[in-house]
Amino acid sequence: MTWRFGLTEATFEPLWLTHWVLAATLALPILFGLLGALFSPRRTLPVALVCVPILLTGVLLLMEYQQAGLLRWQWQVAGVTVSLRLGGVSILMLLVTQWVGAAAALYTPGHLRLTNPGKQARWLWPLMGVLISALSLIWLAADLLTLYAALELMGLAAVGMLLLSGKPAALQAGMRYLLLALVGSLAYLLGVALILGYWGQLNLQALAEVVEPGPVAWIAAALIGAGLALKAALFPLHGWLTPVHESAWTPVSALHAALVVKASLFILLMLWNILLPSSLFAPRFVAWLGMLAIVWGGLVAWRSDSLKTLVASSTVAQLGYLMVAFPLIIGPDIPPLPKALAWEGFWLQLIGHALAKAAMFMAAGNLILATGESSLKGLAGTSRRLPLSLLIFGLASVTLMGLPPSSGFTAKWLLLQAMVMTQQWVAVVALLMGTLLTAAYVFRVFRYSFDETAPRHHYQPLAPSMDLVALALALAAFALGLLAHLPLALLQGGGV
């Protein structure tokens, strides 16, 4: 199974050009972020110009991967081995990170121009740069030390970004998030300590060869799992998520829900795959929690009165779909076909959700900014005045609901197929219920917004770039269902 994460030997050495591209991938976002703090751009064009080289590095790495297959790097720094690898999943998530990051960056100038948040806004750029770099490093890292450093860097940058709005509610939610994330990372570190003490390995590939199931692996997996689940807002540990999004800026929320929680989930899946290759109970436990998450998140979103709470709670439910796939991916005695289907469904769901949730947060942010109200009732009459924002919201929710031909549909189809093959009927029921609940809370938004009798308010006009970026993301999530073979071909490469 570890070949799926690219933890195998590489056939070719990376070329010297590839070294530079890798360095640029990791360093350029921070560099441009610092430039952003210096110049604090108010227009979209300079931001777009800066995004081009970063996106270019991703495309170059993709081409390199398609030519040479898996790539590995290893350096000795002061006696410590740092290793990176570029496998199918890494390059896919790297591209998603760069494109969603670019979309959030392009959205930001318009948002800042309209909201006028004051001087602290310039700090958004370096934090965003650090976040993108740290995320890229997480997808590439192949040893526990690099993973830990990148995870912490990402977490601190994310907390910093969420605090920028400066409201007391944001500060309080941010403080809670900071403390929980820090304690979560200590639990992760203790798990790593166990691994290092017992097997003496930090390198994932070497670790996968020496690990044997036993109490140490279980305790380490439990500690790492608890820490990362806290950071990824997996179901019973998701309490911090909604308040954090409630008062954050729109592009920050979009980045956080799309990428930050997914990174912890990715590390969790990868490490459990190594530590618990044949455990029956742990992945089942996660799957049961995932089913509860689908129902609970859907119900909370359905009952909520605030648009942002609705979108944030929907993240809890959508993460539930990913948790349900755990026993199919890392459980024992799953036949190869359902395993491959669940693997594809997992990543398609993750990417589709990243794109759609970023679009949804942006559309919701646009609606809230234009109407000046954050409650669902405040949306009354928006169907006439803000049809484009509402259309984007609708397109994104089509993906979340999983209606054809969106990526949500394809992902759920793959997951359902795998579940039916392995006869996990409860999971099938949970998946279908989740779809119904998603439809219920999405249509609640539309019921308020199509209220034609509402009095006319004054609406704040939006910058065109804000709607365009959100629309592009929503359309990408939609089109990914039809073009699913492109990312899935990447996922299956690099081995077998």
Partner 1 sequence: MIASFNLIEGGLALCLCVAALACLFDRHLLRASCLFVVFALFMTLAWWWLEAPWLAVAELILGALLTGASLFYALRAYRPNGAASSHRANATPHYDSFRGSWPHGLTRALLALAWCFMMWGAIRFVMPEMVYSPAEHPLVMAAVVIAATAMGAFALHHHLLRRLLAFNILGSGVFLLLAGMAGTEEGAQALISVGLAIAWLGSLLGALLIRHLFLLEGKNALSLDSQTKEQPQ
CB 32 within 8 Å of CB 55: no
- Residue from 71, 92, 156, 355 touching partner 1 (CB under 8 A): that is 156
Kindly state whether residue 123 participates in binding partner 1, applying the rule CB under 8 A.
no
E runs forming strands in 305-403: none
- Cα–Cα distance between 150 and 230 in angstroms, integer? 17
Minimum Å gap between C-beta 161 and partner 1 is: 12
3-state secondary structure of 9: coil
Q: Are 464 and 388 in contact (CB under 8 A)?
A: no
Q: Which of 15, 17, 38, 193 binds partner 1 (CB under 8 A)?
A: 193
Selected binder of partner 1 within 56, 219, 295, 440 (CB under 8 A): 219
Residue 74 binds partner 1 (CB under 8 A) = no
| Shortest Å, Cβ 78 to partner 1 | 7
Residue 152 binds to partner 1 (criterion: CB under 8 A): yes
Q: Cβ 320 to partner 1, closest distance in Å? A: 14
What's the closest the beta carbon of residue 10 comes to partner 1, in angstroms?
23
Among 216, 299, 420, 479, binds partner 1 (CB under 8 A): 216
Q: Scan residues 132-151 and list those touching partner 1 (CB under 8 A).
A: 144-145, 148-149
Q: What angle (nearest 5°) sits at the alpha carbon of residue 265, between those of residues 260 and 271?
A: 130
Structure tokens at 355: 């794109």
Among 80, 429, 486, 489, binds partner 1 (CB under 8 A): 80
Min CB(83)–partner 1 separation in Å? 12
Q: Does 196 bind partner 1 (CB under 8 A)?
A: yes
405 preceded by cis ω (within 30°)?
Answer: yes
Orientation angle between helical segments 88-115 and 464-479, nearest 10 degrees: 160
* Residue 388 touching partner 1 (CB under 8 A): no
User: Which residues, numbered 313-332, are part of the site for partner 1 (CB under 8 A)?
Assistant: 313
Shortest Å distance, C-beta 179 to partner 1:
6
Binding of residue 213 to partner 1 (CB under 8 A)? no
Residue count at the site for partner 1 (CB under 8 A)?
52
Residue 119 touching partner 1 (CB under 8 A): no
Place of tokens 């997951």: 415
Which range touches partner 1 (CB under 8 A), out of 180-188, 336-344, 369-377, 478-486?
180-188
Residue 122 Cα distances to 41, 46, 115, 280, 375, angstroms: 8, 15, 13, 49, 29
The answer to whether 191 and 218 are in contact (CB under 8 A) is: no
- Residue 68 binds partner 1, judged by CB under 8 A: no
- Between CA 317 and CA 304 the distance in angstroms is 14
Neighbours of 30 (CB within 10 A): 17
* Contact flag: residue 194 with partner 1 (CB under 8 A): yes
User: How many CB atoms are located within 10 Å of the residue 382 CB?
Assistant: 24
When binding is defined by CB under 8 A, the residue of 95, 96, 241, 474 that contacts partner 1 is: 241
Q: Is 159 in the site for partner 1 (CB under 8 A)?
A: yes
CA distances from 58 to 14, 18, 41, 199, 405 (A): 15, 11, 24, 35, 27
Q: Is 158 in the site for partner 1 (CB under 8 A)?
A: no
Kindly state the tokens that stand for 300.
């909370």
Give the interface segment with partner 1, choosing from 64-72, 193-201, 279-287, 337-345 (CB under 8 A). 193-201
How far apart are CB 155 and partner 1 at their closest, in Å?
8
Q: What does the DSSP assignment read for 133-197?
A: HHHHHHHHB-BHHHHHHHHHHHHHHHHHHHHTT--HHHHHHHHHHHHHHHHHHHHHHHHHHHHHH
Residues near partner 1 (CB under 8 A): 78-81, 144-145, 148-149, 152, 156, 159-160, 163, 166, 168, 171-172, 174-176, 178-179, 182-183, 185-186, 189-190, 192-194, 196-198, 200, 202, 214-216, 219-220, 222-223, 236, 238-239, 241-243, 300, 309, 313
